[in-house]
């Protein structure tokens, strides 16, 4: 007996079902909001993005990148060749041999996937994902044997005659299983969905600027006019309020848990797990419950009770708002995600709904926002007291000088005694280097960072516009600030409001600016002799703005060899102070700042150099004994060779 | 039971709101006490959202009103009148017409006159009782409300008052919920244009920013921590005062005038 007609039929069926599934899946994504994306250009660019952008991230894990290249590459090639050889029945030994080769490649890759899954780390999901390597092996193995006759290794009649029905049945079972997982499962929601959704996600990513080594970290502004539109809603209430390509992005998740492994809130036992969050979004967009989720839960929350649907309010049944408020917006997850999924965008989108529609920002959130609205600073201090810290500093005011080379953006650190020490140190350095600078004084307002991260985009936009209006009155070529959060807003988020106040203006973090002063020889420094120093990368300077080198170079210029923490640079662990997290203060089992201090302690450092007043506050909040915490500006001031002081010293002796 | 037995579920509550002023920045905002009055109104009307009406006399375009709306109000009723007009008469009429059972206000406004007289004037005009400095309205039964009045140092006095009445809300009342941008933008301003007499007395006044009242220096005699703690928490024992209950009103008034002269307030 012969089943020759069976295999093409099976393949055709599987492919047809895959196409139906694909159409269905696309419909689910298209239920989201429109976004302006050049579809054709995206599709054209997709293979390149896969090979470079995505692969660069996967490459951080050499084992996985090789495994994936073999398995994925082998599969794509095999699938194409299977269609030619087995579906269309093209009789070519060359094609058959090529297919055998690609199947072998896939098989070997699948063996490595299998090996990794023998003792999987806790971050990766189990469940159907444990089946995947076996399905891959079944697919590759089944088709391999099936292809042998076409390659001329076995005679055509071999199957039918020698081993008869049994082998045919086994082979058929294998390819049904394999194709079920790899063709059907790809579009009907199995683990292989990541290949289909992932490829399209790369093509239609909401932040196209990220590809080709670019960086795109500024949050997108909310269209506030939606507030008064019929049926309009601010932020994301239901899955369908996301942009369609955000939904597509969620679907691309491979549940590798790389994000979970780096999330400070997860490690602190707060009820957030970025992987679960993305999976819950998938539950939301497709409808159903999280009962099938087979990864780590939100700490302290049992899996299986979340219910959602495309048109159901997410925070009513699918997600606990506490999950959203636990995030420090540190972007560690986004940085690690091999699928380039944008967790922070999604989290802030949902916070926007909670704050701007529900008025339910937790804990001190409402008070802080009220203060920002009424006094332009989060603590409700009198706006006219913003420059009190500098009463003895004799700072040139922009209102008076109207023009300066450098505008020093002071930030709300002006109101905080600890931060004032950093500001003073920086001013001293500016003066020592004879920089032509001025400040806005009381005309400066809160940058809007906290308001925006807390979901109050209305207040952020209001502050941004008013700040821009002030800035547009004066002439300067550079803005420098000691606050990475203000830095990020000014540099990446103020450009969306149609103002030309920052056109041609360079925005610098003070470490970058000071480093250039030192390189130009405008600051003379004594070598530092004070024991071991480690450096903590602020999220908003590092991951948000890619500045890892300047602070380190500055430290080197004082002869400091930074004793790096295990997690540093783009992998730096958040101090816990971002995203309004200290304001919303969601309880966990540990404090993020304590964990960061442990990282620092492991280096044996006596001093932690930082570049952010928020990090300073968080790290200094850790109980002693612990290393000292100093902003780089403060360390520099200590080593500053002051020509006038030297002169004095000589006179004395 | 009568059809309208004046239980909480079918009460008509009116909260009067004014335009607040932030103490540090002087910026327009929802007034602290008034927004607590709205909060209390929302809590009382939780079962019956139509039972709460938020009423303002002034300019419907005033942005400060939006921050009350952001607490989740579908509409704010505004009696639009001339800025120089006296709001008492039209407010009184509106309250009478609306069939209000409970009227909530702040103790005093944060801007404008800020005399704290409005609730009293309204009570006088309507002939209703007024309870000042209310921290909470606990229950309403058979037309009688049980009210907690705020006294200094966190103390409370329970009072029973027959409906309808006016309550001025103290800062001891539960804090106002967050004001959200979306609902604030969406709320309707239901405007009624009213004519009212010009407040001629006020016209002759100059407005100035209020200064903090000077505080009498307190000589702390406490020697130990326990004594200091007691001094800080114990109910102040008024010394040298007189409780006048039975005396004739003229005599009582005279005693007040005498005290004011003695303290140098009146000369
Ligand atoms: S979101 Fe990204 S990093 Fe996290 S599990 Fe999914 S694919 Fe992995
Ligand atoms: S941004 Fe940071 S805190 Fe938020 S989910 Fe990602 S890793 Fe966790």
Q: Chains A and B: how many Cβ contacts under 8 Å?
A: 58
B3 band by pLDDT with thresholds 50, 70 and 90: very low
* pTM assigned to the model: 0.91
A402 band by pLDDT with thresholds 50, 70 and 90: very high
Q: Which of A146, A171, A203 is the last residue of a domain?
A: A203
**Pair A375, A478 in one domain:** yes
Q: Is the pLDDT of residue A649 over 50?
A: no
The position carrying tokens 């001190």 is A364
Domain that holds residue A199: 6-203
Report the DSSP beta bridge partners of residue B85: B198
Contact B180 A358 (CB under 8 A): yes
Q: What is the mean pLDDT of residues B216-228?
A: 77
Query: Considering only CB atoms, which chain B residues are within 8 Å of A357?
Result: 180, 182-183
Q: What length is written for chain A?
A: 653
Percent of chain A topping pLDDT 70: 96
Calculate the alpha carbon distances from B115 to B120, B121, B206 in Å: 11, 11, 14
Would strands B144-150 and B130-141 be described as parallel, antiparallel, or unpaired? antiparallel
- Residue A376 is predicted with a pLDDT of 96
Within chain B, residue ranges assigned H as helices are 32-44, 64-69, 88-98, 118-126, 181-186, 200-203, 225-233, 249-262
**Pair A269, A409 in one domain:** no
Q: What is the mean pLDDT of chain A?
A: 93
Q: What is the pLDDT of residues A522-547, one digit of tens each?
A: 999 999 988 899 999 999 999 999 99
Would strands B28-30 and B144-150 be described as parallel, antiparallel, or unpaired? unpaired
Structural domains of chain B sorted by starting position, each given as residue range(s) with its CATH number in brackets:
5-203 (3.40.50.620)
Cα separation, A282 vs A125, in Å, equals: 15
Q: Which of A156, A175, A203 is the last residue of a domain?
A: A203
Please name the helix (run of DSSP H) or strand (run of DSSP E) that holds residue B140, with its range, or none.
strand B130-141
What does the DSSP 8-state code read for residue A356? I
Q: Which of A357, A392, A420 is the last residue of a domain?
A: A357
3-state secondary structure A570-616: HHCCCCCCCCCHHHHCCCCCCCHHHHHHHHHHHCCCCEEEECCHHHH
A466: three-class secondary structure by DSSP: helix
Please name the helix (run of DSSP H) or strand (run of DSSP E) that holds residue A549, with its range, or none.
helix A549-557
Q: CATH number, domain at A135?
A: 1.20.950
**Pair A494, A385 in one domain:** yes
**Pair A151, A262 in one domain:** no
**Pair A122, A14 in one domain:** yes
| A155 located within any domain | yes
The position carrying tokens 């990446």 is A492
Atom of ligand 2 minimally distant from the CA of A266: 8
Nearest to A380 among B24, B177, B178 (CB): B24
Q: Is the pLDDT of residue A629 over 80?
A: yes
Q: What is the pLDDT of residues B48-90, one digit of tens each?
A: 888 999 999 999 999 999 999 999 999 999 999 988 888 899 9
What does the DSSP 8-state code read for residue B50? G
Q: What is the pLDDT of residues A470-516, one digit of tens each?
A: 999 999 999 999 999 999 999 999 999 999 999 999 999 999 999 99
Q: What length is written for chain B?
A: 267
The domain tally of chain A equals 4
- Residue B4 is predicted with a pLDDT of 43
A158 band by pLDDT with thresholds 50, 70 and 90: low
Tokens of B103: 């009227």
Nearest CA to ligand 2 atom 3: A327
B181 in contact with A at a CB cutoff of 8 Å? yes
B20 in contact with A at a CB cutoff of 8 Å? no
**Pair A47, A195 in one domain:** yes
**Pair A36, A150 in one domain:** yes
Q: CATH number, domain at A346?
A: 1.10.1060
| A213 located within any domain | no
A293 band by pLDDT with thresholds 50, 70 and 90: very high
The position carrying tokens 């966190």 is B154
CB atoms within 10 A of CB A290: 19
- Residue B6 is predicted with a pLDDT of 57
Q: What is the pLDDT of residues A543-559, one digit of tens each?
A: 999 999 999 999 999 99
DSSP string, A33-73: B-----HHHHHHHHHHHIIIIIHHHHTTSHHHHHHHHHHHH
| A133 located within any domain | yes
Tokens of B178: 């967050």
**Pair A465, A610 in one domain:** no
B135: three-class secondary structure by DSSP: strand
Q: What is the pLDDT of residues B155-181, one digit of tens each?
A: 999 999 998 999 999 999 999 999 999
Of residues B4 and A153, more confidently modeled: A153
CA of A490 to the centre of ligand 2 (A): 22
Cα separation, A290 vs A494, in Å, equals: 39
**Pair A487, A567 in one domain:** no
**Pair A332, A186 in one domain:** no
CB atoms within 10 A of CB B214: 6
Pocket around ligand 2: residues whose beta carbon is below 6 Å from it? A 262-265, 272, 274, 327-333, 343-344, 574
**Pair A412, A388 in one domain:** yes
| A216 located within any domain | no
| A217 located within any domain | no
Cα separation, A406 vs A394, in Å, equals: 16
A-interface mutation test, from B22, B27, B180, B212, most A Cβ less than 10 A away:
B180
Q: CATH number, domain at A430?
A: 3.40.50
- ∠ CA A222-A226-A229 to the nearest 5 degrees? 180
Please name the helix (run of DSSP H) or strand (run of DSSP E) that holds residue A514, with its range, or none.
helix A510-519
| A237 located within any domain | yes
Give A282→chain B minimum CA distance, Å.
27
| A208 located within any domain | no
- Residue B105 is predicted with a pLDDT of 96
**Pair A265, A181 in one domain:** no
Cα separation, B103 vs B100, in Å, equals: 7
């Amino acid at each position: 007996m012969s089943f020759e007609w069976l295999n093409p039929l099976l393949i055709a069926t599987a492919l047809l079902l895959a196409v139906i599934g694909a159409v269905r899946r696309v419909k689910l994504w298209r239920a989201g909001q429109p976004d302006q994306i050049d579809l054709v250009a995206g599709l054209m660019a997709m293979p390149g993005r896969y090979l470079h952008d995505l692969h660069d991230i996967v490459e951080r894990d050499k084992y996985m990148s090789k495994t994936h290249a073999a398995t994925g590459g082998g599969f794509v090639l095999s699938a194409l060749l299977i269609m030619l050889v087995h579906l269309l029945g093209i009789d070519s030994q060359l094609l058959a041999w090529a297919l055998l080769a690609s199947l072998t490649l896939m098989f070997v890759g699948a063996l490595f996937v299998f090996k990794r899954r023998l003792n999987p780390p806790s971050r990766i999901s189990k469940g159907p994902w444990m089946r995947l390597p076996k399905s891959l092996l079944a697919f590759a193995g089944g088709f391999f044997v099936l292809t042998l006759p076409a390659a001329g290794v076995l005679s055509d009649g071999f199957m039918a005659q020698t081993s008869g029905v049994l082998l045919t049945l086994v082979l058929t079972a294998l390819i049904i299983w394999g194709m079920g997982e790899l063709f059907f499962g790809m579009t009907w929601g199995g683990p292989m969905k990541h290949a289909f959704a992932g490829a399209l996600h790369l093509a239609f990513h909401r932040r196209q600027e990220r590809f080709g080594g670019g960086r795109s970290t500024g949050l997108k502004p909310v269209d506030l006019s939606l507030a008064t539109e019929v049926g309009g809603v601010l932020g994301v209430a239901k899955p369908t309020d996301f942009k369609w390509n955000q939904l597509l992005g969620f679907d691309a998740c491979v549940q590798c848990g790389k994000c979970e492994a780096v999330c400070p809130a997860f490690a602190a036992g707060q009820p957030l797990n970025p992987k679960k969050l993305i999976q819950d979004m998938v539950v939301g967009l497709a409808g159903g419950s999280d009962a099938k989720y087979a990864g780590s839960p939100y700490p302290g929350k049992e899996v299986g009770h979340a219910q959602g649907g495309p048109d159901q309010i997410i925070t009513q049944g699918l997600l606990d708002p506490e999950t959203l408020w636990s995030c420090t917006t540190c972007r560690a997850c986004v940085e690690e995600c091999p699928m380039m999924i944008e967790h922070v965008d999604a989290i802030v989108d949902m916070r926007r709904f909670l704050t701007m529609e529900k008025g339910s920002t937790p804990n001190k959130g409402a008070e802080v926002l009220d203060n920002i609205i009424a006094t332009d600073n989060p603590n409700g201090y009198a706006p006219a007291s913003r420059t009190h810290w500098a009463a003895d500093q004799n700072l040139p005011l922009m209102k008076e000088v109207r023009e300066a080379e450098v505008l020093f953006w002071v930030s709300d650190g002006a109101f905080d005694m600890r931060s004032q020490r950093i500001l003073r140190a920086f001013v001293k350095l500016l003066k020592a280097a004879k920089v032509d600078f001025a400040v806005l004084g009381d005309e400066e307002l809160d940058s809007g960072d906290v308001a925006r991260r807390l979901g109050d985009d209305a207040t952020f936009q209001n502050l941004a516009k008013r700040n821009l209006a002030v800035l547009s009155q004066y002439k300067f070529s550079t803005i420098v600030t000691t606050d990475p959060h203000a830095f990020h807003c000014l540099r990446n988020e103020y450009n969306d409001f149609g103002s030309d106040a920052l056109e041609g203006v360079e925005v610098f973090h003070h470490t970058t600016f000071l480093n250039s002063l030192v390189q130009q020889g405008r600051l003379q420094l004594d070598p530092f002799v004070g024991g071991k120093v480690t450096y903590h990368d602020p999220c908003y300077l590092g991951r948000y703005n890619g500045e890892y080198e300047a602070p380190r170079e500055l430290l080197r210029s004082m002869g400091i060899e930074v004793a790096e923490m295990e997690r540093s640079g783009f992998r730096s662990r958040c101090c816990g102070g971002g995203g309004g997290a200290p304001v919303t203060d969601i309880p966990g089992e540990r404090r993020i700042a304590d964990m960061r201090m442990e990282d620092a302690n492991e280096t044996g450092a006596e001093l932690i150099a930082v570049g952010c007043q928020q990090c300073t506050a968080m790290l200094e909040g850790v109980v002693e004994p612990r290393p000292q915490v100093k902003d780089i500006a403060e360390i520099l001031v200590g080593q500053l060779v002051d020509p006038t002081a030297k002169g004095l010293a000589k006179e004395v002796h | 039971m009568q059809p309208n037995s004046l239980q909480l579920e079918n009460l008509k509550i009116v909260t009067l709101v004014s335009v607040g002023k932030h103490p540090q920045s002087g910026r327009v905002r929802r007034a602290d006490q008034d927004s607590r009055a709205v909060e209390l109104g929302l809590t009382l009307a939780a079962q019956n959202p139509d039972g709460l009406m938020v009423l303002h006399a002034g300019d419907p375009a005033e942005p400060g009103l939006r921050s009350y709306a952001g607490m989740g109000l579908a509409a704010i009723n505004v009696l639009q009148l001339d800025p120089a007009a006296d709001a008492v008469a039209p407010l009184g009429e509106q309250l009478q017409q609306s069939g209000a059972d409970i009227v909530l206000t702040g103790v005093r406004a944060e801007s404008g006159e800020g005399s704290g007289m409005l609730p009293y004037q309204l009570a006088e005009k309507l002939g209703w009782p007024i309870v000042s400095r209310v921290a909470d309205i606990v229950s309403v039964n058979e037309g009688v409300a049980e009210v907690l009045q705020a006294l200094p140092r966190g103390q409370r006095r329970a009072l029973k008052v027959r409906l309808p009445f006016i309550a001025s809300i103290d800062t001891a009342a539960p804090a106002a919920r967050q004001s959200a941008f979306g609902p604030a933008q969406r709320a309707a301003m239901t405007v009624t244009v009213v004519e009212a007499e010009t407040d001629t007395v006020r016209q002759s006044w100059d407005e100035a920013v209020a200064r903090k009242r000077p505080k009498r220096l307190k000589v702390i005699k406490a020697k130990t921590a326990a004594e200091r703690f007691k001094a800080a928490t114990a109910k102040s024992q008024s010394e040298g005062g007189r409780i006048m209950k039975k005396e004739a009103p003229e005599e009582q008034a005279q005693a007040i005038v005498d005290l004011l002269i003695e303290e140098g307030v009146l000369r």
